[in-house]
Amino acid sequence: MVKLHLKRLSSPRTWPIKKKTLTFIARPNPGPHKLEHQIPITVFLRDLVSLVTTSKEVKQILHNKDCFVDGVICHDNKRPVGLMDVVSLPKASEFYRLLISKKNMLYAVKVSEKESQMKVCKIANKTSLKKGLQQLNATDGRNFLVKDAKKYSVGDSVQIELGSQKIIAHFPLVKGAQILLTSGKYVGQEGVLDSVDHSTAFIKIGDSTITTLKKFAFVVGTSKSVITL
Least-confidence region, from 3-17, 138-152, 169-183: 3-17
Parse the chain into domains and list their residue ranges: 6-113, 117-171, 178-221
Q: What is the DSSP letter of 91?
A: G
Do residues 115 and 227 touch, judged by C-beta distance below 8 A?
yes
Please, how many CA atoms are within 13 Å of residue 43, restricted to the half-sphere of its CB?
Answer: 27
Do residues 178 and 221 touch, judged by C-beta distance below 8 A?
yes
Domain 117-171 classification at class level: mainly beta
Q: Which fold has domain 178-221?
A: SH3 type barrels. (2.30.30)
Range list of β-strands (E), 93-146: 94-100, 106-110, 118-128, 134-138, 143-146
Quickly list DSSP for the chain: ---S-EEGGGS-TTS-S-SSSSSEEPPPPP-SS-GGGEEEHHHIIIIIS-S-SSHHHHHHHHHTT--EETTEE---TT-EEETT-EEEEGGGTEEEEEEE-TTS-EEEEE--TTGGGEEEEEEEEEEE-GGG-EEEEETTS-EEEES-GGG--TT-EEEEETTTTEEEEEE-S-TT-EEEE-SSTTTT-EEEEEEEETTEEEEEETTEEEEEEGGGEEEEESSSBSS--
Enter the CATH code of domain 6-113: 3.10.290.10
Distance CA 6, CA 114 (A): 35
Give per-residue pLDDT as tens, 71-113. Answer: 999 999 999 999 999 999 999 999 999 999 999 999 999 999 9
Give per-residue pLDDT as tens, 12-56. Answer: 899 988 888 888 888 899 888 999 999 999 999 999 999 999 999
pTM beyond cutoff 0.85: yes
The whole-number pLDDT of residue 2 equals 59
Give per-residue pLDDT as tens, 180-197. Answer: 999 999 999 999 999 999
